[in-house]
Amino acid sequence: MRFSLLALLVLVTLACLILGWWQFIHLERQRLIRRRDVLEKHVADLSAELKRKWEDLLDIKRGMDIPESAAASALQEVDVKRLDRLISDISDASRLDAELQRDEVAPIDLHKLVQALVTIGNEVKKDNVTIKLSFEGGGPERFKVPGHDSRVGQVVTNLIDNARSFSPPGGTVRVTCRRLRKEIEIIVDDDGPGVRPDAMEKIFERFYTDRPEHGFGQNSGLGLSISKQIVEAHGGRVWVENRMAPGEHGGDPRVLGARFVVRLPAM
Ligand SMILES: Nc1ncnc2c1ncn2[C@@H]1O[C@H](COP(=O)(O)OP(=O)(O)O)[C@@H](O)[C@H]1O
Ligand SMILES: [Mg+2]
């Protein structure tokens, strides 16, 4: 009797171990499949973008009625910057996924971090745009989130850089950190043209870029997609809204500017 009870116990323990092991393998397999899908999509997007750029270059070259060598050197000059930017952004994005999974999460002092980034932004002042910062909903100790400080900093910098690039000359970008009950919002407002309703989702896709000074500039179209990836890895959300003013004399409402909102779980 005692023997069969012991055997039963051993059997149950073994069954539990096998079940646990099987579940672990199953989860690990799913994680690898997800990672493979992300990588595949990334490579597909990348090659499509490189192909588009290459065709753009060929089009420009065909349209230029200048000697072969002069055209080649002009193209090289305008595109080296863009390619350089594109390649460094791509290599940054490809490290991101692994880094966010691997590295330890630590408390981030958003009060300090955002203040430092705004100070640096105002010191650079390359475009005569001023960045203003305010905090709502509590003292500095209420602005802590768990995460990767350099990556969250990268999100704030991306949003500020975009906002200042769309601001009118001498304009202001307003950054507001707001403590909600269980979350913290970082809001970046500008007085630019805002975002077209049909582009509100698209702007977060890889390589989407739509700027008035379009061409082979400084913009890879990766800033917002990287930001979204970082925010979601922190369990948060990012979205864009347009700030509106009611229309005058019964006319249509007017866009006052864009508002980007990042919402992160607070500590
Ligand atoms: N503050 C803003 N106001 C209006 N449009 C914006 C703003 N920020 C981003 N966008 C739109 O989203 C696009 C994608 O932004 P992003 O991913 O940072 O790429 P990039 O800055 O390289 O163009 C921009 O090209 C622009 O069309
Ligand atoms: Mg950008």
pLDDT mean across residues, the chain: 87
DSSP state of 127: T
| C-alpha angle 47-50-51 in degrees, rounded to nearest 5 | 85
Same domain flag for 32 and 147: no
Residue 6: strand, helix, or coil: helix
**pLDDT tens-digit series, residues 72-126:** 666 666 666 677 677 777 777 777 877 787 778 899 999 999 999 999 999 987 7
The count of other CB atoms within 10 Å of the CB of residue 36 is 10
CB-count burial class (<10 Å; 0-12, 13-18, 19+) for 214: exposed
Domain hosting residue 166, numbered range: 102-265
Instruction: Indicate which CATH number applies to the domain containing 223.
Output: 3.30.565.10
C-alpha closest to that of 222 among 205, 198, 237: 205
- The Cα–Cα gap between 152 and 114 comes to 9
- For the chain, helix, strand, coil in percent to 5 are 55, 20, 25
**Under DSSP, is residue 260 helix (H, G, I), strand (E, B) or coil?**
strand
Residues lining ion ligand 2 (Cβ < 5 A) are 162, 223
Q: Are residues 240 and 131 in the same domain?
A: yes
Q: Is the CB of 129 under 6 A from ligand 1?
A: no
Out of 54-58, 124-128, 141-145, 223-227, which region has the weakest mean confidence (pLDDT)?
Answer: 54-58
Q: Which residues contact 203 (CB under 8 A, 6 or more apart)?
A: 195, 210, 224, 240
Instruction: Express as a percent the part of the chain with pLDDT over 70.
Output: 89
pLDDT digit string, tens, across residues 227-259:
999 999 999 999 999 999 998 888 889 999 999
Segment 219-223 shows an average pLDDT of 87
Q: Please give the pLDDT value at position 243.
A: 97
Mark whether 112 and 233 lie in a shared domain: yes
Same domain assignment for residues 41 and 112: no
List all residues 6 or more positions away from 259 whose beta carbon is below 8 Å from its beta carbon.
187, 188, 189, 240, 241, 242, 243
| 211 pLDDT above the threshold of 80 | yes
Residue 76 included in any domain? no
In a domain, 180, yes or no: yes
Query: What pLDDT sits at residue 89?
Result: 79
Query: CA geometry: angle at 229 spanning 90 and 240, to 5°?
Result: 110
Q: How far is the CA of 167 from the centre of ligand 1 (A)?
A: 12
- pTM (two decimals): 0.78
State whether 118 and 249 are in the same domain. yes
Distance CA 125, CA 190 (A): 16
Helices 149-166 and 68-102: crossing angle, nearest 10°? 140
Beta strands (DSSP E) in 68-114 are 106-109
Weakest mean pLDDT among 124-133, 154-163, 252-261: 124-133
- Are 114 and 225 in a shared domain? yes
Least confident of 22-31, 35-44, 143-152, 194-203: 35-44
Report residue 177 as tokens: 């950190």
For a mutational test of ligand 1's pocket, the pick from 203, 214, 229, i.e. the residue with the most ligand atoms closer than 8 A to its C-beta, is: 203
Give the Å distance between the CA of 203 and the centre of ligand 2. 10
Kindly give the number of the ligand 1 atom that is closest to the alpha carbon of 190.
1
- Residue whose tokens read 């989130």: 145
Query: For 22-63, what is each residue's pLDDT tens digit?
Result: 999 999 999 988 888 788 777 767 767 777 777 777 777 677
Residue 192's SS3 state is coil
Nearest to 145 by CA among 83, 235, 64: 235
Q: How far apart are CA 142 and CA 126, in angstroms?
A: 32
pLDDT category at 194 given cuts 50, 70, 90 is very high
Determine whether the shortest distance from the Cβ of 190 to ligand 1 is under 6 A: yes
pLDDT bracket for residue 158 (50, 70, 90): very high
Residue by residue, DSSP assigns 96-156 as HHHHHHHSPPEEEEHHHHHHHHHHHHHHH-TTS-EEEEEEESS-GGG-EEEE-HHHHHHHH
Instruction: Indicate whether 149 and 252 sit together in one domain.
Output: yes
Domain count, the chain: 2
Has residue 74 been placed in a domain? no
Q: Which two tokens stand for residue 17?
A: 């171990």
